[in-house]
Amino acid sequence: MSDAVNNDMSEFWNGEGGKKWLHFMETMDVNLLPFGQKAIKAATVMPGEQVLDIGCGCGDTSIEIAGLVGVDGHVLGVDISESILVRARAKAMISKGKNVAFECGDAQVHRFETAAFDLIFSRFGVMFFDNPVAAFKNLHGALRLGGRVAFVCWQPAKDNEWTEISLETVAHHVSLPDHSGPEDPGPMSFGDPERVRRILTSSGFSNIEISNCDTSFTVGSNLAEAVSFLMQLGPASAAIAQADVGERVKSKIAADLREMLVPYDTGVDVTMGAATLIVTANR
């Protein structure tokens, strides 16, 4: 693993954050699938290509792309969390994919082979860099001339129903954390298209295209699962953790979240509105 500069993110994803993600892995595999597929479609993956998957998590997108590039292509999944990559490697073994590998590293400073990749891809994995321009300059150097980048990222919390409504509910019980600054890393930090365009342009990319992708997001297969997810992952969970409340307050929050989610329960799953951006660019 290369020396990490995103120390807070490294500590989080190799610690409590990684544990929570693995706990909800099966749920997230299903819930995030549509977002990854939309980004993969925008990436126009071709047989024989060499692909770098940034923030690959438990490996779902890496394995899916490996099937598209075929035996003449290869996918390298990179993530900052070693504990999460253990699961990714296990999934790859089950899928018997011999053209996919995983490496633990901080993509902002990781020493990638120069001009080695046709495509750099990410599903919600590029929003956490301390210095996104430095990170994308590093990734730019890993692309061959004419290569491309394609990723999906969240729009601001206010445009994501699953985030905004859960935060409003939690705010009745605890004080919400101060809003992150426009340049601070975080899950919604790439929500401003102009900021994304500025970062990519400053990093050497061209032909930048950014499109809105509003869709639905399944937050659980039932109300209990949805409540658990919102309380343990995402912005609402951060507010609860920061407040360091006791079990009595957590029970009240859970009850209010459950009531809030009732209108979104389809009987098959609990689905709320989500807003993302699909971004593509070229070297």
Q: In 190-214, which positions are buried (b, 16+ CB within 10 angstroms) versus exposed (e)?
A: bbebeebbebbeebebeebebeebe
Q: What percentage of the chain reaches a pLDDT higher than 90?
A: 74
- According to CATH, the topology of domain 7-157+185-219+276-282 is Rossmann fold (3.40.50)
CB count within 10 Å of CB 145 equals 7
**Whole-prediction pTM:** 0.90
pLDDT in the model for residue 179: 62
pLDDT in the model for residue 241: 82
What separation in angstroms does the CA of 215 have from each of 39, 123, 162, 263?
Answer: 13, 15, 11, 17
The mean predicted confidence, pLDDT, of the chain is 91
The string of pLDDT tens digits covering residues 30-65 is 889 999 999 999 999 999 999 999 999 999 999 999
Helices of type H across the chain? 7-13, 16-23, 25-31, 33-43, 60-69, 82-95, 132-142, 161-170, 193-202, 223-232, 235-243, 247-261
1 pLDDT more than 80: no
The string of pLDDT tens digits covering residues 65-107 is 999 999 999 999 999 999 999 999 999 999 887 899 999 999 9
DSSP codes joined into one string, 185-204 = -STTTT--HHHHHHHHHHTT
Q: Tell me the three-class secondary structure of 216-270, residue by residue.
A: EEEEECCHHHHHHHHHHCCHHHHHHHHHCCCHHHHHHHHHHHHHHHHHHECCCCE
* Domain-wise residue ranges, the chain: 7-157+185-219+276-282
